[in-house]
Structure 1
Amino acid sequence: MVGLSSSTPLVWILAGEASGDVLGARLIHALRARNPHIRFAGVGGARMAAEGFVSLFPMRDLAVMGLVEILPRVRQLSRRLDQAVEDITTQKPDLVITIDSPGFALRLLRRIAGLGILRMHYVAPQVWAWRQKRVRKFPGLWDELLCLLPFEEEFFGRHGLKTRFVGHPVLQSGAQEGNAARFRARHGLADNARVLVLMPGSRRSEVPRLLPVFGQMLALLRTTLPDVVPVVPVSPVVAATVEQAVRNWPVHPIVVTDVQDKHDAFAAAGAALTKSGTSTLELALAGVPMAVTYRVNPLTAFMVRRLIRVPHVAMVNLLAGREVVPELLQENCAPDVLAREVRKLFEDPAAAQAQKAAFAAILHGLEGPGGALPADAAASAVLDLLAAKGRV
């Protein structure tokens, strides 16, 4: 017995971090628009809660990244995995959807493989970037994989995995719809103030690595760009951590947790420093010139460098096939290097314009099939899978 009936399917969703929470919320909204009787259970954050979703346990318990950083939390993660498996076994949903967070999600999919429940993974594991042999472990983990990048459909298809490209959700993020005047008025900024966006990440394990470097960089910038106003957009999950970390900065930043305020900050910004990942695509959509920077535990960095198989870390560079934005990683994630790059972004209009020109072509390639919004394309994939198995 799976689910209550074909008209009231139960979909169990796992989102393990802030970006997955956003995807899950949009997916729930799109599915309910087509079938208001669909029920949901699982693990999610505030964005999914706003759609009426009740999380089995706090999503923040899963928001950890890095080979070394994860070790102290192995026992807690193991308990949460057991809890998720028990809930799925008890509820017997019609479909389990895991969103990103491969470290936890793929273990969950493996644990429930013998239950006869449909499984879907949303956001392809980036095995094409490093340790490509891992793809051999995926057959049998899910019934369908939803991918965000156009080349992933072909990559996973070569390995016999049913894969569907649904478009990249950044295109419906609204990042390009910010209002610069509204941001300056709300925060009392002069028209000539140089707004610098600093994006340290969405996980509690990564934020403390970038914020001290950003603070030291601002101290160097004060001598040459005294009118720079730093803005730090972060998720509510790490807001308290960020507020504590920036108390002693030489220039107190504007910490932004509201999505609209973040997009307004993008519209007002003349430059940005960001961690690698989806944030680079958000900034590209908003037309903000940027440099990408990142720092992890040295042991983690050593291991990753031996395994990585792509020439670029920044998503915009990877999609363009060349270095559109500077990548300042590990030893180059240093205050003097970052300060020099920020000055260039603010004072070299040609360099900034070259980035913006490249962004348009990159974003065009991320449009979903038939021009559908990514969440709608993902909802179609979910309903198609359920219908194929007679569950809806």
Structure 2
Amino acid sequence: MKFFLIAGEPSGDLLGAALMAGLKELVPDTSFEGIGGPAMQAEGLQSLFPMEELSLMGIWEVLPKYFHLKRRIAQTAEAVISAAPDALITIDSPDFCLRVARLVRASRPDLRTIHYVAPSVWAWRPGRAKKMAQVIDHVLAILPFEPPLMQAAGMSCDFVGHPIATAPTASPEDAAAFRATHAIPADAPLILCLPGSRRSEITRLADRFGKALALLQQDVPQMRVVLPTVPWLADDLRGMTADWPTPPLIIDGKDDKRAAFSAADLALAASGTVSLELAANRVPMVIGYDMAPLSRWIIGMMVKTDTVTLVNLVSETRAVPEFLGRDCQPEPLAKALKQVLDHPQAQLEAMDLTMQRLGKGGEAPGLRAARSVLSAITAR
């Protein structure tokens, strides 16, 4: 069998690589063409062009590249048609992927099209699903409540598990070694500060998070703060946190981050998938987030749910306190952190339920996704 896959982000590259491995396990003579990063290339994909060309976010990043991206869309669609695969599998990155799928559908209406990662229509812009159904036949969902929403829009859909549910976590020994290496006493509450992975996020949130942690430290003087980040933001964060009452320990290595998550007692985090990473490590949390006033107003008009935290949504609880927009202020954040630190049990139960519902202990998501792809092809 032959598949054409397209991924445009590092997270999609990892999903694509796991799917490719699953397909090769089920159908050993499978071949691949498409666009992907190092993980997919390690599974045998020769990328049509560097995936990094598609890893753009925000209107001001995309505008200068508009005509180049338009050419890449046409080039990719032509490559799909020329390859004549058994299916086109697009992975997240809908702005690029669905435009390719639309061109392919116009030329090859018989070609099976599959999209990995459902759009978050449960949160905002529900019309996206019906629009996607014009060019996509089948969806691989990573959240358990998404299949009915995709099916209502006219696509078949399987929940295939979330990769976080089977991702490795650090051992208790690794956690103890992390504390020892950084001279953090075993009985000192360890707080993770996670103000985001984009410069715009940390610029907006770091000061508020720092003030909230300073207030918490008045009640918990022995606490220590660790701030995991990515290498290209580490220096910025050192500057932003230099005047905190107790500057945090800033780490930017993957192994250190995994051990820090395992060692932590509490987290103050920006909204996003990091809430699932914390849940996988059973770290109670408080979520805070804000954006530019215009973006805040636009998103506020479109959001359909009373919570954006995935642990709350998947567990069908509201165990994780969240403070969004104007509510993201140091005083309420600090008060919630102290309450969660003193009474974590409800959150721990919600996090355990979340991981169970996301597929913990079950078949690997890549293999489940591969089974779903093969079933979708044969079902036609």
TM-score (norm 2): 0.85
Q: Residue 298 of structure 1 aligns with which residue?
A: 293
Q: Residue 308 of structure 2 aligns with which residue?
A: 313
The answer to whether the Cα contact below 8 Å between 1:43 and 1:59 also exists between their aligned partners in 2 is no
Distance in 1, Cα, partners of 2:79 & 2:42: 25
Read off the aligned partner of 1:377 and give its amino acid letter. R
Q: Residue 7 of structure 2 aligns with which residue?
A: 14
CA shift, 1:37, in A, is 4.5
**Pairing 1:369-380 to 2, within 5 Å after superposition:** 371-380=362-371
CA deviation string 1:254-294 (max 9, x = no partner): 32331x43232122101012233322122112111001121
Distance in 2, Cα, partners of 1:40 & 1:210: 42
Distance in 2, Cα, partners of 1:49 & 1:336: 48
**Identity of paired residues, percent?**
35
Decide whether aligned partners of structure 1 residues 78 and 188 sit closer, same or farther in structure 2, where only a CA change above 3 A counts: farther
Q: Say which of 271, 274, 294 aligns to 1:279.
A: 274
Read off the aligned partner of 1:138 and give its amino acid letter. M
The answer to whether the Cα contact below 8 Å between 2:285 and 2:340 also exists between their aligned partners in 1 is yes
CA shift, 1:322, in A, is 3.0
The answer to whether the Cα contact below 8 Å between 1:81 and 1:108 also exists between their aligned partners in 2 is no
Structure 2 unaligned blocks of 5 or more: none
CA deviation string 1:88-132 (max 9, x = no partner): 413634233222233333333223322424321111101122232
CA shift, 1:328, in A, is 1.0
Decide whether aligned partners of structure 1 residues 354 and 273 sit closer, same or farther in structure 2, where only a CA change above 3 A counts: same
CA deviation string 1:327-371 (max 9, x = no partner): 11112222333233333333x1xx211210222223322238x94
CA shift, 1:164, in A, is 1.5
Q: Say which of 50, 59, 66 aligns to 1:57.
A: 50
CA deviation string 1:111-160 (max 9, x = no partner): 33224243211111011222323332122221211112222111221222
Distance in 1, Cα, partners of 2:197 & 2:240: 21
The answer to whether the Cα contact below 8 Å between 2:56 and 2:62 also exists between their aligned partners in 1 is no
- When the two chains are superposed, the root-mean-square deviation of aligned CA atoms in Å is 2.9
Q: Residue 381 of structure 1 aligns with which residue?
A: 372
Q: Residue 15 of structure 2 aligns with which residue?
A: 23
Are 2:354 and 1:365 equivalent residues in the alignment? no
Decide whether aligned partners of structure 1 residues 46 and 279 sit closer, same or farther in structure 2, where only a CA change above 3 A counts: farther
The answer to whether the Cα contact below 8 Å between 1:85 and 1:112 also exists between their aligned partners in 2 is no
The answer to whether the Cα contact below 8 Å between 1:15 and 1:24 also exists between their aligned partners in 2 is no
Are 2:186 and 1:194 equivalent residues in the alignment? no
Distance in 1, Cα, partners of 2:372 & 2:98: 20
The answer to whether the Cα contact below 8 Å between 2:238 and 2:250 also exists between their aligned partners in 1 is no
Q: Residue 254 of structure 1 aligns with which residue?
A: 250
Q: Residue 69 of structure 2 aligns with which residue?
A: 80
Decide whether aligned partners of structure 1 residues 274 and 206 sit closer, same or farther in structure 2, where only a CA change above 3 A counts: same
Distance in 1, Cα, partners of 2:312 & 2:186: 32
Read off the aligned partner of 2:288 and give its amino acid letter. T
- SS of equivalent residue, structure 1 residue 121: strand
The answer to whether the Cα contact below 8 Å between 1:100 and 1:123 also exists between their aligned partners in 2 is yes
CA shift, 1:180, in A, is 1.4
Distance in 1, Cα, partners of 2:169 & 2:297: 34
- SS of equivalent residue, structure 2 residue 120: coil
Distance in 1, Cα, partners of 2:274 & 2:345: 19
**Pairing 1:1-392 to 2, within 5 Å after superposition:** 6=1, 9-16=2-9, 18-48=10-40, 51=43, 53=45, 55=47, 56-59=49-52, 61-64=54-57, 69-76=58-65, 79-90=68-79, 92-93=82-83, 94=85, 95-116=87-108, 117-175=111-169, 179-203=174-198, 205-234=200-229, 238-249=230-241, 250=244, 251-258=247-254, 260-346=255-341, 348=342, 351-367=343-359, 371-386=362-377
- SS of equivalent residue, structure 1 residue 364: helix
Q: Residue 3 of structure 1 aligns with which residue?
A: none
Distance in 1, Cα, partners of 2:71 & 2:12: 20
